[in-house]
Amino acid sequence: MGKDRCRRYLFFFTWILGVQLCFVLGEKQKVTSAKLWELWPKVRISPADPYQLRSSDVTAALEGLQKKNPKSISVEFTAKSAEGRPLPLVQWGQGELKIALWSQMHGDEPTATAALLDILHFLVSNPGNKLVRQWRDRLHLLILPMLNPDGAERTRRRNAQGIDINRDALALTTPEGRFLKQVRDRFQPEIGFNLHNQNARTSVGETKQPAMISLLAVPYDAQGNNNEGRIRSKKICALIYETLGPYCYTGIARYDDSFTVRAFGDQMSAWGTYTVLIESGWPGRGGEEYLVRVNFLAILRALQALADGSIQNANPAVYDALLQNQSDLIFDWILRGVTIWSGNAVAPFITDLGINFRDVWDDPKQRRKKGAVAEVGDLSVFRGLRETAAAEWIACPSDLGAGPPKGEITPGTQTLFLYRKKSADAAPVAANLLPVGRLAQGTWVENP
Ligand SMILES: [Zn+2]
């Protein structure tokens, strides 16, 4: 066999082997993500609505896990919040690579706390599982679930001092912030996961697609430079993006990457714990627990790739190419082409109406949506999470049953009566209208 021919055979053989290997690895990765996704309903211990989680629930869950398998998990309850609630530190694994994961430093952002409890339950309950054994030997997890228990108790962003813990990385006025810093200094983890929720009306770039997940390879300086640590964070984000594709479709964005000097993620990266931010946003039809499952998958896949070294194969440019979060392109509800009939001297006219809802908590565990008119006018460049073609609809500021309309409809209006014309060509007078529903002091009531 000639030298050239031999080389050609060798090249061909190597190529075939490469193709086979790619196929096997690709298959393996796909199966693993799908398996982790299917695993969640079997191992979850979190409630259907993560907003119901309180400090006492987290403590009880962790104590239960400790009891179940005391050798595999260590939980310290020594640190306390401003109001004296425990700030647990969970340690799992005996490996070299230290990874810190903290959730809910904003009290009203509970999705990842639920996912962390489910992950811990899986790890503690399956010590013989091949993956769990590999992770235990290579990773040392430091988990701080629900870093703001006082805020969680009130379902609000800030702690009991009224301070945003994520702006306290330099001053360290909050006991919760000091606790996070102490854990960082004590263990010096190489990698951090900073876990939050963002507004469900955030969109993926200008696509008007609501972002289910936004990712950030948190910068360590104001210039947004790259070093080995930040590139690894970008690789983790790229891997999470590729893992979540089948479950979040096009709903994955990049979080604003400007350096926030007082924020924890940024300072953690500057201190040497290169941090990935995961923000859970729009839950889609699956509700909040769908996002818990998405977090479960994202975090476990990242841990797997960090444990087996395959994170090296991820492409940081995939992260760089993600579209950035954009706000103000989405409304909760848009009524398109609705007739507005106000109680002032203006004749009824046709336009669009945007309504947004926010969560309010009358009772700490009772979430309800409170709505208000957010915009009146041409909304053709916006998207509604709910959209109504309202050509036959009339919006009034007061109940037409009580006489002619009184008041106006402007941004901020919380009381609104919606009617539908009995027939398309009917004049907009009370006798020709059927009530559809009303926004009463912000509460939407659909007419039967
Ligand atoms: Zn947050």
Question: Cα(89)–Cα(76) distance, rounded to whole angstroms?
Answer: 5
Give me ligand 1 centre to Cα 163, in Å: 13
Tell me: pLDDT of 107 over 90. yes
Report the largest interatomic distance among the alpha carbons of the chain, rounded to a whole angstrom. Answer: 100
CATH code of domain 330-446: 2.30.40.10
Residue 360 Cα to ligand 1 midpoint, Å, equals 17
- pLDDT, position 29: 47
Question: What average pLDDT is seen over the chain?
Answer: 92
Cα angle: 374, vertex 379, 384; to 5 degrees: 70
pLDDT digits (tens, 9 = 90+) for 271-286: 999 999 999 999 998 9
CA angle 256, 309, 215 (to 5 degrees): 15
pLDDT tens-digit readout, 173-208: 999 999 999 999 999 999 999 999 999 999 999 999
Query: What's the gap in Å between 198 CA and the centre of ligand 1?
Result: 7
Task: Write out pLDDT tens, residues 47-89.
Answer: 999 999 999 999 999 999 999 999 999 999 999 999 999 999 9
Which of 272, 170, 261 is CA-nearest to residue 227?
272
| CATH class, 32-326 region | alpha beta
Q: For residues 430 and 435, give the distance between their C-alpha atoms in angstroms, rounded to a whole number.
A: 10
pLDDT higher than 70, residue 17: no
pLDDT digits (tens, 9 = 90+) for 375-400: 999 999 999 999 999 999 999 999 99
Q: Could you tell me the distance, in angstroms and rounded to a whole number, from the CA of residue 288 to the centre of ligand 1?
A: 16
| CA separation, residue 17 to residues 10, 20, 25, 29, 30 (Å) | 11, 5, 12, 18, 20
> Measured in angstroms, how far is the CA atom of residue 51 from the centroid of ligand 1?
14
| Ligand 1 geometric centre to CA of 165 (Å) | 9
Amino acid at 20: Q
Give the tens place of pLDDT for each residue, 321-357: 999 999 989 999 999 999 999 999 999 999 999 999 9
Per-domain boundaries in the chain = 32-326, 330-446
- pLDDT attached to residue 257: 87
- Whether the per-residue pLDDT at 150 is higher than 70: the answer is yes
Tell which wins on pLDDT, 1 or 259: 259
Instruction: State in Å: Cα 17 to ligand 1 middle.
Output: 47
Separation of 109 CA from ligand 1 center, angstroms?
Answer: 6
pLDDT at site 251: 96
**How far apart are the C-alpha atoms of 115 and 123, rounded to whole Å?**
12
pTM of the model: 0.89
- Phi/psi for 393 (5° steps) reads -100, 150
CA of 241 to the centre of ligand 1 (A): 20
Would you say residue 360 has pLDDT above 80?
A: yes
Give the pLDDT band of residue 1 (cuts 50, 70, 90).
Answer: very low
